Amino acid sequence: AVAGAPQDDRNLPDVHLGLYDDVLVFDNVEKKVYVIHWVNLGRHASTEEAYEDGRSRLNLLLSKVHNSNVPMLSPGFVKLGTRQFGEPLNKSTMTSDEYKNAVLTAKEHIMAGDIFQIVLSQRFERRTYANPFEVYRALRIVNPSPYMAYVQARGCVLVASSPEILTRVRKGKIINRPLAGTVRRGRTEKEDLMQEQQLLSDEKQCAEHIMLVDLGRNDVGKVSKPGSVKVEKLMNIERYSHVMHISSTVSGQLDDHLQSWDALRAALPVGTVSGAPATAQ
């Protein structure tokens, strides 16, 4: 345990991982469904047998998709229902003064060299009878993002909307996309461009972003072939429904003796979520 760490009052896992034999992927951009089956070679006498078994399983899954008679979803409706609890409950895990003191403490640790950077977080709670899936559906409309999630995990239902990936490995290529530096979208095209210019000229926002680019290069470099790490894109602007972000792309070629799990481990702890210790354990 880390000395001084906050009490775990939710009893939730830090990471929720799932390994599945069968996956249906709905591509909302191309309006296509991809059917995926994982073949365990250890269960078969030969590669040919494994291949044929995989084909049979895919055909079975395809027939279920084509022949299923699933009713259409009804129009979404989110009702907070807080009146049933009396006064609305909006609660944070720390007061304003506690947060300010945490900022001062963080600065002291940075000056002392204990940490490179830190992201202070607080949890906001609100009671509601809203259906989590309806909240997810509403989020897709109000704040659509490239990476959205509705996960029924142990002890909770996770609804998330994020514009960034932590780590991606495809055909041996590692991608890390730092996303930091944010400003609201403008009401007009002219105001939007002004907001972009102000964001890119903001010394603090740009400094934070470059710190995360350096952190990404370090994380990717831990598991990449020597000399393969590069910054493909630096400080581009990405626009979303309500805000715009500064984004960069760091890549590297995964070392031959390593796997994607090693790349994921190298990216933890996540700099954009928690910051970075002076020495990763």
What is the per-residue pLDDT for 209? 92
| Residue 136, domain member (yes or no) | no
Q: Are 208 and 214 in contact (CB under 8 A)?
A: no
What is the per-residue pLDDT for 1? 45
Domain limit, last residue, from 12, 36, 67? 67
| Residue 31, domain member (yes or no) | yes
What is the per-residue pLDDT for 189? 94
Distance CA 251, CA 169 (A): 10
What is the per-residue pLDDT for 280? 47
Return the HEC string of the chain: CCCCCCCCCCCCCCCCCCCCCEEEEEECCCCEEEEEECCCHHHCCCHHHHHHHHHHHHHHHHHHHHHCCCCCCCCCCCCCCHHHHCCCCEEECCCHHHHHHHHHHHHHHHHHCCEEEECCCCCEEECCCCCHHHHHHHHHHHCCCCEEEEEEECCEEEEEEECCCCCEEECCEEEECCEEEEEECCCCHHHHHHHHHHHHCCHHHHHHHHHHHHHHHHHHHHCECCCCCEEEEEEEEEECCCEEEEEEEEEEEECCCCCHHHHHHHCCCCHHHHEEECCCC
pLDDT tens-digit readout, 202-216: 999 999 899 889 989
| Residue 17, domain member (yes or no) | no
Q: Both 172 and 63 in a single domain?
A: no
| Residue 76, domain member (yes or no) | no
Distance CA 115, CA 120 (A): 13
Structure tokens at 200: 């890119």
Q: Are 244 and 195 in contact (CB under 8 A)?
A: yes
Q: Which residues of the chain have pLDDT under 50?
A: 1, 86, 280-281
Domain limit, last residue, from 51, 67, 83? 67
Cis peptide upstream of residue 269 (ω within 30 degrees of 0): yes
Structure tokens at 273: 């979520």
What is the per-residue pLDDT for 171? 93
Domain limit, last residue, from 67, 95, 125? 67
| Residue 179, domain member (yes or no) | yes
Structure tokens at 45: 């006498």
Containing structural domain, residue 39: 22-67
pTM of the model: 0.75
What is the per-residue pLDDT for 159? 92
Domains in the chain: how many in total?
A: 2
| Residue 195, domain member (yes or no) | yes
Distance CA 219, CA 167 (A): 10
| Residue 257, domain member (yes or no) | yes
| Residue 246, domain member (yes or no) | yes
